[in-house]
Chain A
Amino acid sequence: MSAHPADAAIPHTVEPHPVTGLPNGKFGIWLFLASEVMLFGALFSSYVLIRTQAPHWPPEGGLSSEILNVPLATLNTAVLITSSITMVLAWASCKLGRIDRFRLWMGSTIALSFVFLIIKYFEYTDKFHHEHFPKTNNFYAIYFTLTGLHGLHVIGGIVVNTFLLTIGTRLWKIDRDHFTNRVENAGLYWHFVDLVWIFLFPSLYLL
């Protein structure tokens, strides 16, 4: 390990911690993801409760798939899945010592994240245009809360990934393994965001 000043302040950025067998960052991100499961889990539980108690779902009649835009959401699912593989390839490029490829794949991941948000923007504005807001009924309250919180997570991922692609890349020159671990941790978070959408998509749009 190189003598980078940060190593003195934050131990086990590369070497596994003797207790966990993992670098601290990776263990930390998994604990964070565990808390995220509870955050989305509580909202998902509320959704199940509200829906099972409702005489009709959606309250205005019809089917969720007729009210929400399934083709756009399907496209967004494909976009997010693609961004997951570009993310894992960005990390793999670091492992293989190819920072040029890392830039390509990480840039693609960020671009796809924006595509996801743009599609979401069109979905939202269409709903607003038809006077459908979170306050309209429980269906829209749940839809906007869950997809909105997920969207905020996408924005969070863009911030972290953009950092890694720009000024964060400086660490590559100082400590490659440390940088690679950071990319892996950002990847774990990003795959989790994909994973949440994998459940949101069928439960909100298709069922």
Chain B
Amino acid sequence: MAETADHSSPEAFKKHLGQYYVVFVALLCLTAVTVGVSYLHLQRPIAIAVALVIATVKAALVAGVFMHLISEKKVIYAVLILTAAFFLLVLLLPSLTIFEGVAV
């Protein structure tokens, strides 16, 4: 079979389906949490940190379970590590060039 190993038998595969529903409910709950927290009007740095942490957890759930990144081939991890490095570079590049002007 072409895909990653973990669903060789229909039984094992059906067990997988349960995970999808759990992640789905978790994503909806986390969406409710992130909206709920925004109404608390926390201090900006804390609000940014909380929102980004929740978004990262949600993204990890989508990528890990829905996109099967938990059990993926090494070559994809390599591509993604390279991408993450360049993504960070793009994100930091403006701050590096005009660092003095950035209001923290």
Tell me how far the C-beta of A91 lies from the nearest C-beta in chain B, rounded to whole angstroms. 10
Q: Which residue of B lies closest to A64 (CB)?
A: B38
Roughly how many angstroms separate A70 CA and B34 CA in the complex, as a whole number? 11
Report the bound CA distance from A202 to B54 in whole Å: 9
Size of the B side of the interface (Cβ < 8 Å), in residues, is 51
Residues of A within 8 Å of B2, CB to CB, are 14-16, 22-23, 26, 177, 181
- Cβ of A113 under 8 Å from chain B: no
CA distance A177 to B3 in the complex (A): 10
Contact among B34, B48, B82, B93 with A45 in the assembled complex (CB-CB below 8 Å)? B93
Interface of A, helix, strand, loop or mixed by DSSP? helix
Asked if A195 CB lies within 8 Å of chain B CBs, one says yes
Add 19 more A-B contacts to A16-B2, A96-B14, A194-B62 (CB < 8 A).
A22-B73, A27-B76, A30-B79, A30-B80, A37-B83, A38-B87, A45-B93, A52-B95, A53-B98, A53-B101, A81-B28, A177-B1, A187-B66, A198-B55, A201-B31, A202-B34, A206-B38, A206-B47, A207-B38
Mark contacts of A33-52 with chain B using CB atoms, 8 A cut-off: 1 yes-contact digit, 0 otherwise.
01001100110111011001
A199 B87 Cβ-Cβ under 8 A: no
B91 touches A48 (CB 8 A): yes
Asked if A31 is at the interface (CB within 8 A of a chain B CB), the reply is yes
Question: CA of A67 to CA of B19 in the docked complex: distance in angstroms?
Answer: 37
A168–B54 CA distance with the chains assembled, in angstroms:
37
Residue in A closest to B73 when the chains form the complex, CB atoms: A21
Interface size class of A (residues with CB under 8 A): 35 or more
A1-37 to B contact mask, C-beta < 8 Å, 1/0 = 0000000000000111000111100110011001001
Known: A30-B76, A206-B38, A207-B48. A81 touches B24 (CB 8 A): yes
Query: Of A23, A42, A74, A203, which one neighbours B51 at CB under 8 angstroms?
Result: A203
Q: What are 24 contact pairs spanning A and B, CB under 8 A?
A: A21-B73, A21-B75, A30-B79, A44-B91, A45-B90, A53-B102, A53-B103, A84-B27, A85-B66, A87-B66, A89-B17, A92-B16, A181-B2, A184-B3, A198-B55, A199-B55, A201-B34, A202-B55, A203-B51, A206-B34, A206-B47, A206-B51, A207-B38, A207-B47
Complex: how many Å from CA A194 to CA B23?
14
Distance in angstroms between the alpha carbons of A198 and B27 in the assembled complex = 10
Known contacts A41-B90, A53-B101; A77/B31 CB under 8 A: yes
